[in-house]
């Protein structure tokens, strides 16, 4: 890092601090702190939520996967397109959950099942969440230590201390300060601003990479693989371990099963101004994601080229020497691409990427702190009380809880020794909770016959099987036949079977869904003014989840996404048949991925930078207007009485 790079970093950080101070004046109640008053629009949701995907730890996790599998997962991932599209457009789980008006997932569990189930799932989700989050600050800080060119250790009062430890404390402190300001109000606005800045900076970095590295050089490195382990030809990749076609197929099931179950972004599921706007936020997020992958993919393959191609032997020698000094094998593998990125970027460009990484850290860590800290108060402490906190007391407790999560993450990061891929660690720690909770969510929202006994049985069986798998893997290591995502998959399947069986055996009366979902006579008047209605009757669109709330523009966005994605599903089908009959040469695969894996995502990066910057600015303006007009309900605090939100009771 040079002086110019450090100067570039100062301005965005000052902007975030100013926004955090400005948003404090809009905080009026608990629902504002936890859910932004439920007043966010689709672009604000899509851009702000997406910022969690550009933090340092996400770059590291993605680099690990690309270094091991190249473009292979992109090909096999197209298998999931039809199902994933229907899930996204229909608002699977997300739409109905927003209709419940619950502030947290476990609050919904009390409405649907029981208070004891809420408390148990709240604590289980909190424990799994902080374990999952614990790895994020330390991985990000290690990455930034190398990125910033800091020494591996520093001397503090005569003690040798690894540099990532104080850096982790500093980054966590900044993330915590942003979160404590006004909760989700602050995080949504700062994350949206960060997202818009990042999209523009991505384009500059992409332009630099395309001028320094030629596709010929990149392709030569990717082609140099042993038979069965190709990074370009999916049909010559079945020797790849961990990140392969089975990873994709089990991930497809998990993507449906775990929808909204993992609460690291739970607040965004409650923040939309209507249930339909929440659904559209997911659709817009998918559009935005078409351009996000360009920078990570390009950085990864360029770094691999920098480290392995003969043209860069001299330039990469310093990076190789630095990597060789890392003692732990897993950590050395994890940091290979990040260190290469550090050495291959020049002054100025490095500063721009640093801005993106830091803003991603603040946005991602802040969202985690809000999610897990609020979960403990809302779903472990609050249900035990007979009398509600005052709004001031409630928000103060939430802030203390978030500070506690930050302190735990710091201690965890200081002590934790990583032996697993980041993506695998996430999969298995999520599954401790999601393995059993996923079916309780789906059954509770869509099946009138789901019972409390079924929810308990599914949760305990699924979570127990996953936890047992984790322990077995820790004891036997690679000798244990299942990896993290396989453990999660089989635990989830077992939970589904047990939930359905026990519910059918114990159901005595169908659950009243309309009241829980605020439909018909139970509709909330204050939300009706924001609803949209189509003038034309919806017919064919219902097949992919389009209903009467889709305006003409909404149909164009959803239909366009469906058509574009199905085009690539068609490419997958035709390409698979073609290669089974007459396999493509490696040179053809190389040109294919140059267009599909690099060229098209770069084009989308340009389009989405303009599109979502306009939309983000528009929605931020509307968000502040709605907050000014808001009349907060102090009873809207997450408490449930007789299976209904406290604020929904006739006598409240």
User: How many angstroms separate the CA atoms of 173 and 164, rounded?
Assistant: 14
What pLDDT does residue 474 have?
Answer: 67
Q: Is the pLDDT higher at 397 or at 433? A: 397
| SS3 at position 640 | strand
Coil/strand/helix, residue 91: coil
**pLDDT at 652 (0 to 100):** 45
Over residues 617-636, mean pLDDT: 88
Query: Is 573 contained in some domain?
Result: no
Domain that residue 107 falls in: 3-251+260-419+512-531+584-648
Across 139-143, 471-475, 526-530, 599-603, the highest mean pLDDT is recorded for: 599-603
In this prediction, residue 604 carries a pLDDT of 92
Burial environment of residue 11 by CB neighbours within 10 A (0 to 12, 13 to 18, 19 or more) = exposed
Dist CA 133 CA 262 (whole Å): 12
CA-to-CA dists, residue 520 to 99, 168, 424, 528, angstroms: 12, 50, 44, 11
What is the dihedral angle through the alpha carbons of 265, 267, 268, 273, rounded to the nearest 10 degrees? 170
- Residue 230 sits at φ, ψ, to 5 deg, of -65, 145
Range in 116-120, 188-192, 467-471 with the lowest mean pLDDT: 467-471
Per-residue pLDDT, 85: 78
Position 274 in a domain: yes
Neighbours of 158 (CB within 10 A): 5
pLDDT band at 614 (very low <50, low <70, confident <90, very high): very high
More confident residue, 153 or 408: 408
The predicted pLDDT at position 168 comes to 93
Q: Which two tokens stand for residue 374?
A: 């609020």
Measure the CA–CA gap between 198 and 188, rounded to whole angstroms: 15
Average pLDDT over every residue of 129-157: 85
Cα separation, 37 vs 364, in Å, equals 21
Q: How many residues does the chain have?
A: 652
What is the per-residue DSSP string for 324-361?
HT--SHHHHHHHHHHHHHHHHS-TTHHHHHHHHHHHHH
Q: Is the pLDDT of residue 319 over 90?
A: no
What is residue 471's predicted lDDT score, i.e. its pLDDT? 78
Residue 21 inside a domain? The answer is yes
Q: Which two tokens stand for residue 444?
A: 């509770």
Q: Which of 235, 237, 340, 353 is nearest to 295 (CA)?
A: 353
Q: How far apart are CA 204 and CA 208, in angstroms?
A: 6
In angstroms, the CA 286 to CA 296 distance is 16
% of the chain surpassing 70 pLDDT = 92
**Quick check: 535 pLDDT over 60?**
no
Q: Once rounded to an integer, what is the mean pLDDT over residues 365-394?
A: 88
Residue 331 lies in a domain: yes
Neighbouring CB atoms inside 10 A of 239's CB total 12
* Helix H or strand E encompassing 161: strand 159-162
Q: Count how many domains the chain has.
A: 1
Q: What CA dihedral angle connects 484, 486, 490 and 491, to 10 degrees?
A: 10
Containing H/E element for 287?
helix 275-308
Q: Domain for residue 343, yes or no?
A: yes
Confidence of residue 47 (pLDDT cuts 50, 70, 90): very high
CA distance 41 to 23: 17
Return the minimum-mean-pLDDT range out of 91-105, 400-414, 602-616.
91-105
* Cα–Cα distance for residue pair 122/100, rounded to 1 Å: 17
453/469 Cα distance (integer angstroms):
24
Most confident option among 280-284, 318-322, 511-515, 574-578: 574-578
Residue 152 DSSP SS3? coil
**Can you give the pLDDT at residue 420?**
61
Tens-digit pLDDT profile for residues 116-127? 999 999 888 898
Instruction: Please report the pLDDT score of residue 252 as a whole number.
Output: 74
600 pLDDT band, cuts 50/70/90, is very high
Average pLDDT of span 249-258:
75
Q: Are 345 and 316 spatial neighbours (Cβ–Cβ below 8 Å)?
A: no
Interval 208-215 mean pLDDT: 92
Q: What is the mean pLDDT of residues 565-594?
A: 92
Residue 166 maps to which CATH number?
1.20.1730
Report the sign of the C-alpha dihedral through residues 238, 244, 245, 247, in that order. Answer: positive
Mean pLDDT of the 412-438 span: 76
CB 499 within 8 A of CB 454: yes
Q: Which of 223-227, 502-506, 536-540 has maximum average pLDDT?
A: 502-506
First to last CA, the chain: 58
449: in domain: no
Tokens of 184: 């989700």
Q: Kindly tell me if the per-residue pLDDT of 203 is higher than 80.
A: yes
* Mean pLDDT score across all residues of the chain: 85
Distance (Å, whole) CA 290 – CA 74? 12
pLDDT tens column, 304-313: 999 989 989 8
**SS3 for 272?**
strand
Is 311 within the bounds of a domain?
yes
- What predicted TM-score, i.e. pTM, was given to this entire model? 0.79
CB atoms within 10 A of CB 9: 17
Contact status, residue 305 vs residue 217, Cβ threshold 8 Å: yes
Cα–Cα distance measured from residue 502 to residue 458, given in angstroms and rounded to the nearest whole number: 8
Specify the pLDDT at position 409: 92
Q: What span, in angstroms and rounded, lies between the C-alpha atoms of 305 and 294?
A: 16
> Is there a domain that residue 578 lies in?
no
Comparing C-alpha atoms, which of 394, 521, 502, 527 is closest to residue 449? 502
Give the highest mean pLDDT range of 184-188, 247-251, 314-318, 379-383.
Answer: 184-188
Contact of 48 with 631, CB cutoff 8 Å = no
Strand partners, 155: 160
């Amino acid at each position: 890092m040079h002086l110019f790079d450090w100067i570039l970093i100062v301005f965005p950080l000052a902007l975030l601090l100013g926004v955090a101070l400005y948003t404090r004046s809009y905080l009026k109640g608990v629902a504002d702190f936890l859910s932004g008053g439920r007043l966010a629009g689709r672009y604000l949701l899509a851009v702000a939520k997406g910022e969690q995907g550009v933090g340092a730890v996400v770059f590291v996790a993605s680099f690990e996967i690309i270094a091991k599998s190249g473009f292979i997962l992109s090909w096999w991932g197209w298998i999931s397109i039809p199902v994933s599209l229907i899930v996204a457009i229909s608002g699977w789980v997300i739409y109905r959950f927003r209709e419940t008006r619950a502030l947290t997932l476990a609050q919904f569990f009390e409405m649907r099942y029981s208070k004891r189930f809420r408390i148990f799932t709240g604590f289980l989700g909190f424990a799994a969440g902080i374990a999952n989050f614990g790895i994020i600050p330390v991985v990000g800080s290690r990455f930034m230590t190398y990125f910033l060119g800091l020494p591996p250790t520093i001397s503090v009062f005569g003690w040798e201390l690894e540099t990532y430890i104080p850096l982790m404390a500093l980054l966590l402190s900044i993330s915590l300060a942003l979160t404590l300001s006004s909760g989700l109000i602050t995080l949504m606005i700062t994350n949206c601003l960060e997202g818009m800045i990042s999209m523009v900076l991505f384009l500059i970095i992409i332009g630099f990479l395309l001028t320094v590295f030629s596709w010929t050089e990149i392709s030569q490195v990717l082609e140099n693989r042993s038979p069965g382990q190709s990074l370009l030809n999916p049909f010559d990749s079945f020797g790849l371990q961990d990140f392969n076609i089975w990873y994709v197929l089990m991930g497809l099931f998990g993507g449906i099963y775990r929808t909204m179950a993992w609460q690291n972004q739970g607040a965004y599921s409650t923040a939309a101004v209507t249930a339909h706007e929440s659904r559209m936020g997911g659709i817009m997020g998918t559009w935005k994601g078409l351009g996000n992958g360009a920078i990570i993919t390009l950085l990864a393959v360029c770094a691999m080229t920098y480290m392995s191609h003969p043209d860069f032997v001299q330039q990469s020698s310093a990076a190789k020497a630095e990597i060789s000094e890392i003692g732990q094998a897993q950590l050395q593998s994890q940091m290979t691409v990040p260190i290469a990125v550090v050495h291959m970027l020049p002054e100025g460009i490095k500063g721009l990427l640093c801005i993106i990484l830091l803003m991603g850290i603040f946005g991602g860590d802040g969202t985690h702190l809000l999610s897990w800290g609020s979960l403990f108060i809302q779903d472990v402490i609050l249900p035990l009380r007979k009398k509600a906190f005052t709004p001031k007391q409630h928000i103060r407790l939430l802030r203390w809880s978030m500070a506690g999560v930050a302190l735990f993450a710091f201690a965890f990061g200081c002590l934790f020794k990583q032996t697993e891929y980041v993506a695998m660690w996430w999969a298995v720690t999520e599954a401790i909770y999601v393995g059993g909770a996923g079916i309780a969510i789906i059954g509770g929202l869509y099946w009138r016959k789901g019972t409390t006994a079924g929810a308990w049985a599914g949760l305990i069986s699924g979570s127990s099987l996953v936890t047992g798998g984790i322990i077995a893997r820790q004891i036997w290591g690679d000798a244990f036949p299942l990896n993290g995502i396989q453990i999660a998959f089989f635990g989830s399947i077992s939970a589904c079977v047990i939930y359905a069986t026990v519910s059918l055996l114990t159901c005595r009366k169908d659950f009243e869904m309309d009241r829980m979902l605020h439909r018909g006579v139970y509709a909330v008047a204050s939300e009706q003014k924001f609803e949209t209605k189509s003038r034309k009757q919806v017919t064919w669109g219902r097949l992919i989840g389009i209903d009467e709330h889709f305006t003409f523009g909404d149909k164009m966005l959803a239909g366009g996404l469906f058509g574009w994605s199905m085009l690539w599903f068609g490419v997958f089908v035709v390409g698979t048949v073609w290669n089974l009959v007459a396999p493509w040469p490696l040179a053809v695969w190389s040109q294919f991925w140059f267009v599909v894996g690099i060229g098209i995502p770069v084009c989308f990066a340009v389009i989405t930078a303009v599109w979502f910057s306009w939309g983000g600015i528009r929605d931020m303006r509307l968000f502040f207007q709605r907050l000014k007009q808001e009349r907060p309900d102090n009873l809207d605090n997450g408490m449930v009485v007789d299976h209904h939100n406290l604020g929904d009771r006739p006598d409240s």
